[in-house]
Amino acid sequence: MKLLVTGGAGYIGSIVAQQLLAGGHEVVVLDSLERGHRAAVPDGARLLEIDLRDAEAVVDAVAEGFDGALHFAAYALVAESVARPEIYYRNNVLGSLNLLDGLRAAGVQRLVFSSTCAVYGEPEVVPMDETTPTRPVNSYGASKLAVDGMIADECRAHGLGAVSLRYFNVAGASGCLGEDHYPETHLIPNVLRAAQGLQDAVKIFGTDYPTPDGTAVRDYIHIEDLARAHVLALEGARPSEHRIFNLGSGDGYSVREVIEAVRTVTGLDVPVQEAGRRPGDPPRLVAANGRIRAELGWAPTKSLTEMVADAWAFAQERPHGYAGAGTH
Ligand SMILES: NC(=O)c1ccc[n+]([C@@H]2O[C@H](COP(=O)([O-])OP(=O)(O)OC[C@H]3O[C@@H](n4cnc5c(N)ncnc54)[C@H](O)[C@@H]3O)[C@@H](O)[C@H]2O)c1
Ligand SMILES: O=c1ccn([C@@H]2O[C@H](COP(=O)(O)OP(=O)(O)O[C@H]3O[C@H](CO)[C@@H](O)[C@H](O)[C@H]3O)[C@@H](O)[C@H]2O)c(=O)[nH]1
């Protein structure tokens, strides 16, 4: 298939693009490079440097015609969304609406969307399945829920076949592609930076959560397991239907357990500093992944140790990320 990958210069989009290319698909990446890296766009993919908020440019770009689109481009940081909600609604909601306009105009019939478990907020029952009530507690989750709603309506009204994958916490690396955000806010890369001495200590945000060790629990999923689900989702898109799947490993780990895994994998000391809770962070998010297992035949294959080991290999290979590798 000829596929449009928005956000394909970012962490997840670049690695999914790489898997799609390996599977024999043609890939065109649409990315503004605002938060991504030219060097992360895999060899063999064509890059269109376009901002999704530019409606006209998006419609023009999509007009060349695609068999399907995978939509990763977004702002994706919980704490930033609490501080600056307006940029989240403008980028995530408006950008997605522009993309839907472009897909409709060009007659593109398949869409896979990066949704998130943040749409569920602070669920009363964990693990969470797709019937968990959607009550986001931060603007990031609210903006993604709005897009899920727009996509559902687009499918109903205009026949699009779409799949929303509600990712839990994506981690690890794949060969020479990995996670490089500036500033880095994600847990595993920051713990590795502390282990490498690139920052004084890793902060533990919140030690008074109602969890066994008092730190927040997340479901970490290996980027390669996650990428594989996109290929299945693309094949599973059905005309006029919006399918929703939670995408996580089903196992929860606390912040302290992740730090311990980094100590074990690297053999290095990790200085820590206890700090207050980060605004917008729920205590515990773990996936019930039965639906995607049953309906798409997907299953996770990689452990937290493998996620940390692959992220560690990337961090050693590129201690300063893609900088110096010809980035924007
Ligand atoms: N990282 C996670 O754990 C996680 C979990 C759940 C969902 N997600 C979702 O997955 C997607 C990818 O996340 P990521 O971690 O790879 O983020 P990322 O920031 O590494 O990548 C996002 C990419 O989108 C591009 N982009 C952003 N706004 C754009 C715009 N208006 N026009 C064109 N390009 C734009 C950025 O330049 C960047 O290359 C996001 O939609 C995010 O919400 C991520
Ligand atoms: O230096 C750090 C960084 C994070 N944390 C904590 O570690 C956990 C995980 O944080 P992080 O890695 O920043 O991920 P999340 O905030 O859970 O968000 C990620 O995972 C969500 C799904 O759960 C996605 O929707 C988001 O896009 C993605 O950024 C949270 O409890 C944080 O408070 C720390 O204690 N110290």
ipTM associated with this complex = 0.98
Q: Are 204 and 215 in contact (CB under 8 A)?
A: yes
What residues does CATH 3.90.25.10 cover in the chain? 173-219+250-317
73 C-alpha to ligand 1 centroid (Å)? 4
Low-confidence ranges of the chain (pLDDT < 50): 326-328
Nearest-5° angle of CA 167, CA 170, CA 174?
A: 130
Query: What does the alpha-carbon distance between residue 284 and residue 279 come to, in Å, rounded to a whole number?
Result: 14
Fold of 173-219+250-317: UDP-galactose 4-epimerase; domain 1 (3.90.25)
DSSP 246-275: EES-S--EEHHHHHHHHHHHH-----EEEE
- Predicted confidence (pLDDT) per residue in 28-40, tens digit: 999 999 999 999 9
For residue 143, what pLDDT is reported? 98
Looking at the CA of 71, name the nearest ligand: 1
Looking at the CA of 77, name the nearest ligand: 2
Q: Are 328 and 33 in contact (CB under 8 A)?
A: yes
- Ligand 2 atom closest to the Cα of residue 77 is 29
Fold of 2-170+220-247: Rossmann fold (3.40.50)
- Measured by CA distance, the residue closest to atom 17 of ligand 2 is 169
Task: Quote the tokens at residue 325.
Answer: 């590798």
Ligand 1-lining residues (CB < 6 angstroms):
7, 9-13, 31-36, 51-53, 72-74, 76, 91, 95, 114, 116, 167, 169-170, 181
For residue 323, what pLDDT is reported? 82
Q: Which residue, 145, 98, 86, is CA-closest to 117? A: 145
| Residue 322 among the catalytic residues | no
Catalytic residue (choose from 140, 167, 220, 322): 140
For residue 324, what pLDDT is reported? 55
